[in-house]
Structure 1
Amino acid sequence: MAFVEPVILQGRGVRLEPLSLTHEAGLAAAAADGELWRIRVTSVPEPQDTRAYIETALAMREAGNRFAFAVLHEATGRVLGSTSYHDILPAVRRVEIGWTWYAKSVQRTHVNTAAKLLMMGHAFDELACHVVGWRTDNYNFASQRAIERLGARKDGVIRGHALRRDGTIRDTVMYSMRSGEWPEARAQLLYLLQRHALD
């Protein structure tokens, strides 16, 4: 049995479904909202590469090291983007959350906070993870701020760690949260979502 089994997570206006080829058109449309593939510090597929992007994610799921979700608007079913559990380590009960991107029109809304609350809750409360981690490009400052807003702590920087899409070599900023830190982080995320609902 896989450590991360197929599951649908939903609440607070978003629905996370296991990514499949049925999401191809919606995912391409989400990426086109802001031409996100032009950002050098992300892994968003160009429209013609969307199918290959999904097929790669499915192969990684089969291998047990990544489980990708399509993020949908709960009421309409519109695909807003994608996010994944990855670097899944069952022996130490650790997952990372990443490969996350959203259509430009829903960036800086409640969508990321709601999706991460669902994923963190599933990881800590259902999978009984000891640690949830994140990693991002050292130049992706928006991503770093978003991860820090979740309550994650910066572990450090791995220098010369990976290739960017333009062929340059990036440093990777690593973050994590331990299970004992989750109740306080959950309370803060619920507070932020409540405040957003009142805006």
Structure 2
Amino acid sequence: MLEQVTLSSNDITLEPLTLAHATDLIKACQNGELWKINVTSVPEPDKVIDYINVADSMLDRQAFAVIDEHTGKAIGSTSFHDILPTTKRLEIGYTWYAKSYWRTHVNTTCKLMLLTYIFETLEYQTVGWRTDIDNHRSQQAIERLGAKKDGVIRGNRVRRDGVISDTVMYSVVSSEWVDIKPKLVAKVQSIY
């Protein structure tokens, strides 16, 4: 749906996710045993190739590998998904990074690149995020970006363990971007 792009800033590159990233992503998800976190979409190490193939087959998803330019290795993944060109809305999700990159400049850098591209190049109107109601770490990260909580969708997702759970929805609209962008830029500069 969207043109394939590569974005780069602050020693992080986002490039289209391919099977060439599989070996790196197997190591990345093992860094912290991320697949054991019940409220995330991180694949098990032996399911990384399936994860990439599914991402590639989805018509309304554009998946990226997150590359640490210092090592040249993929350290995680993020995606545009639920892309609605008519209403100029999409979501950012399927985001995860090797645990050693948590609470670094990586997430803020990635979101700054993605949001800049969405609002300033694509000229989309709305960016959304969704997360499990019990994924407080993700909710805090989304809120730190400046997104507003839209509400809770009850009983609409099944966790890895089979439990039906609620989803918390967030969004940023284009008119808010002018205030959010300088804060994200300052935040990246303070932690980079």
Give TM-score, length-normalised by structure 1: 0.95
Q: Do the aligned partners of 1:10 and 1:74 also contact (CA within 8 Å) in 2?
A: no
Indicate the RMSD between aligned Cα atoms, in angstroms. Answer: 0.7
Q: Give the structure 2 partner of residue 182 of structure 1.
A: 177
Map residues 10-21 of structure 1 onto 2, 5 A cutoff.
Answer: 10-21=8-19
Q: Give the structure 1 partner of residue 44 of structure 2.
A: 46
SS at structure 2 position matched to 1:48 = helix
One-letter identity of the residue aligned with 2:126: V
* Corresponding position: 1:168 with 2:163: yes
Number of corresponding residues: 192
Q: Do the aligned partners of 1:163 and 1:170 also contact (CA within 8 Å) in 2?
A: yes
Structure 1 residue ranges without an equivalent (≥5): none
One-letter identity of the residue aligned with 2:23: A
C-alpha displacement at 1:76, in angstroms?
Answer: 2.1
| Percent identity over paired residues | 54
Q: Distance in 1 between matches of 2:165 and 2:72?
A: 35
Map residues 71-110 of structure 1 onto 2, 5 A cutoff.
Answer: 71-110=66-105
Structure 2 residue ranges without an equivalent (≥5): none
One-letter identity of the residue aligned with 2:20: T
Q: Give the structure 1 partner of residue 118 of structure 2.
A: 123
1:5 to 3, 7, 18: 3
Give CA-to-partner distance per residue, 1:81-105, whole Å, 9 cap, x none: 0000000000000010000000000
* More deviation, 74-83/48-57: 74-83
Q: Give the structure 1 partner of residue 29 of structure 2.
A: 31
Q: Distance in 1 between matches of 2:191 and 2:32?
A: 23
Give TM-score, length-normalised by structure 2: 0.98
Runs of 4+ in 1 over 6 A off after TM superposition: none
